[in-house]
Amino acid sequence: MTPNLIVATPILVILCLLIWLRLPGARNTAKGDPPTTVTALNEIREILAPSKRAVSLSVLLQSRAIPNQRLRRAFHINNTFVSADPHVHSRFVADARRLLSEFSSRESERRWSEFREVTSHLVNSYLRGPTIPYDVFAQTITFGVIVVTLLDAEVSELEFESVAIVTKAINDLWCLSKTAAEGDVTHTLLLDINTHLHRWIPKYDNPLEFILPAFETLWRVVAAALPHVYADPDITGRAFADFFDNPVEAQFECFLNDRPSVRAVMQETLRLYPPTKRIKRSIKRFALTPIVPTFVRNTFPNFFDKTVVADVESLQRSDVWDASHTFDPMRHSEGRVTAESQRTLLGFGYGRLACIGRTWAPRAAALIVAAILEGLDSVNGERYVLIRGDEMGGREGWKGWEFRLVAKDEGVSCYR
Residues 284-343 that bind ligand HEM (CB under 6 A): none
Q: How far is the CB of 150 from ligand HEM (least distance, A)?
A: 6
- Among 221, 264, 367, 369, the residue binding ligand HEM under the rule CB under 6 A is 221
Residues written for the chain: 416
What lies within 8 Å, CB to CB, of 57 at 6+ separation is: 86, 89, 352
Piece in contact with ligand HEM (CB under 6 A), picked from 39-47, 51-59, 229-237, 354-362: 354-362
- Report how many residues bind ligand HEM under the rule CB under 6 A: 28
- Among 38, 99, 132, 308, the residue binding ligand HEM under the rule CB under 6 A is 99
The answer to whether 276 and 316 have CB atoms below 8 angstroms apart is no
Q: How far is the CB of 364 from ligand HEM (least distance, A)?
A: 7
282 binds ligand HEM (CB under 6 A): no
- Indicate the residue among 86 and 237 with the shorter CB distance to ligand HEM: 86
67 binds ligand HEM (CB under 6 A): no
Q: How many Å apart are CA 266 and CA 366, to the nearest integer?
A: 7
CA distances to 17, 177, 338 from 257, rounded to whole Å, are 67, 47, 19
| Helix H or strand E segment including 190 | helix 184-200
Pairing of β 278-284 and β 305-311? antiparallel
355 binds ligand HEM (CB under 6 A): yes
Q: How many helices (H) and strands (E) does the chain have?
A: 19, 6
Q: How many Å apart are CA 285 and CA 303, to the nearest integer?
A: 8
- Indicate the residue among 347 and 375 with the shorter CB distance to ligand HEM: 347
Phi, psi of 38 (to 5 degrees): -115, 140
Q: How far is the CB of 90 from ligand HEM (least distance, A)?
A: 9
347 binds ligand HEM (CB under 6 A): yes
Q: How far is the CB of 382 from ligand HEM (least distance, A)?
A: 32
- Indicate the residue among 61 and 387 with the shorter CB distance to ligand HEM: 61
Piece in contact with ligand HEM (CB under 6 A), picked from 30-38, 211-219, 236-244, 297-305: 211-219
Q: How far is the CB of 26 from ligand HEM (least distance, A)?
A: 30
Q: Which of these, 65, 57, 17, 53, lies nearest to 305 by C-alpha position?
A: 65
Q: How many Å apart are CA 317 and CA 336, to the nearest integer?
A: 16
DSSP string, 250-266: HHHH--BTTBPPHHHHH
96 binds ligand HEM (CB under 6 A): yes
| x/- track of binding to ligand HEM for residues 239-278 (CB under 6 A) | ------------------------------------xx--
Residues 47-66 that bind ligand HEM (CB under 6 A): 48, 64
Q: How far is the CB of 88 from ligand HEM (least distance, A)?
A: 10
Piece in contact with ligand HEM (CB under 6 A), picked from 130-138, 225-233, 359-367, 408-416: 359-367
- Indicate the residue among 218 and 387 with the shorter CB distance to ligand HEM: 218
236 binds ligand HEM (CB under 6 A): no
Rounded to 5 degrees, what angle do the CA atoms 205, 168, 276 make? 80
DSSP string, 108-143: HHHHHHHHHHHHHHHHHHH--SSEEEHHHHHHHHHH
Reduced to 3 states (helix: H, G, I; strand: E, B; else coil), residue 307 is: strand
Q: How many Å apart are CA 6 and CA 2, to the nearest integer?
A: 6
214 binds ligand HEM (CB under 6 A): yes
Query: Which residues would be at the binding site for ligand HEM (CB under 6 A)?
Result: 48, 64, 80, 89, 92-93, 96, 99-100, 213-214, 217-218, 221, 275-276, 279, 347-349, 353-357, 360-361, 365
